[in-house]
Every structure is written in structure tokens, then in C-alpha cells.
Amino acid sequence: MSNTIFYFAYGSNMSSARLQARVGSARNIGVGRLMGHCLEFHMLSRIDGSAECDAYAKECVADVVHGVLFRLDARELPVLDRYEGRGIAYERVMLEIECPDGGRVYAHTYRALRAESGVLPFDGYKAHVLNGAREHGLPAAYWAHLESVPVVRDGDAARRARELAIYD
């Protein structure tokens, strides 16, 4: 790759299959932690009205969002911006990510522009998040937290099938 950047995924894009279907140059380089943030399913999808993930900044430095660091071609960042609804649903920010060896890198990631309480993620969206967490071996306690998030079944069976077809 010519000009590469780091991207930190913490939601559905943790799934390599999902992210690479969107941005073909994305390559997993390891797990990471975003300190002082917590994971919330409170970003209202502009497409279907369900909840999506947000790395929500908190005052307490002990709060942490686990996720995956990817390297991708910088020329594909506008493509990822479109998928993430940059400027409409999310803002793209550069944040410091802690690596397992204690090192730190600055990576692009997305944060919700607004939070919406009382919405639930679709089961297919949560499946992407869980597949990514499993694929990259996120900590068991974090996995349990993700598992505990209630969902609503996507009423559009064709959309659900399309979403999950990448795992077949």
C-alpha cells in the first residue's frame, strides 16, 4: 500500500469480513484499547432506525473500549466515511489507542454525533460486533458485556440475510 493509516474499529467493523467488504485494503494489525471511553449502543441508524455502537467519552480513565486496529490505504478513507455516515451520524476523530505491548498509536475512529436512548440494535448488527470480538479474541468480560446487550430481530428478512451472507 502506498499511503496507509491506522483505523480503530470497535463496532460492526471489528469483523474483518465486514470491513474488507467495505474497504478492500483493510488489514488487521492487532487489538487495541481506547481508554476513558465506554461502548454504548445508542447511535440511531440513519438507514433503519436501529441502534449502532458508539465509543462514548467518559470522565473515568478506567473505562475502556476494546477493539481492533486495522491498517488501510488512505485513499479508501472517504469510502469508509460514506459507510459510517460521516457528518450525519458519526464524526471521524483521531484518538490515541493503547496496544497490548503498552505502545500507543493514533488512529482514525468514529464517534456518534448524537446519542438516542431507548433504541436497540438489530440482531444482525450485533452479530457483526460479536463475530469481530470472537475473531480477534477480545477479553471474556468484554465479550460477556457485548453478549448481554438486548436486540430486536430485524423485520426485513432480506436485509438481514444480505448482512450476514459474508459469513457463509
Query: 83 labelled as ligand-binding?
Result: no
Q: Is 6 annotated as a binding residue?
A: no
57 is in an annotated binding site: no
9 is in an annotated binding site: yes
Q: Provide the grid cell at 73.
A: 490505504
84 is known as an active-site residue: yes
Catalytic residue among 52, 76, 84, 163: 84
Q: How many other C-beta atoms can be found within 10 angstroms of the C-beta atom of residue 126?
A: 24
Residue with cell 500500500: 1
Rounded distance, CA 93 to CA 110, Å?
6
CA 162 from centroid of its chain's CA atoms = 19
**21 marked as binding residue:** no
7 annotated ligand binder: yes
Please compute, for residue 108, the number of CA atoms within 13 A of its CA located in the half-sphere on the CB side: 21
What kind and span of H or E run contains 123? helix 123-135
What dihedral angle (degrees, nearest 10) is formed by the CA atoms of 45, 46, 48, 50? 20
**Rounded distance between C-alpha atoms, residue 130 and residue 28, angstroms:** 16
Is 110 annotated in a binding site? The answer is no
> For residue 143, how many other CB atoms are within 10 A of its CB?
15
Binding residues: 7-12, 125
Binding residues for substrate: 7-12, 125
Active site residues: 84
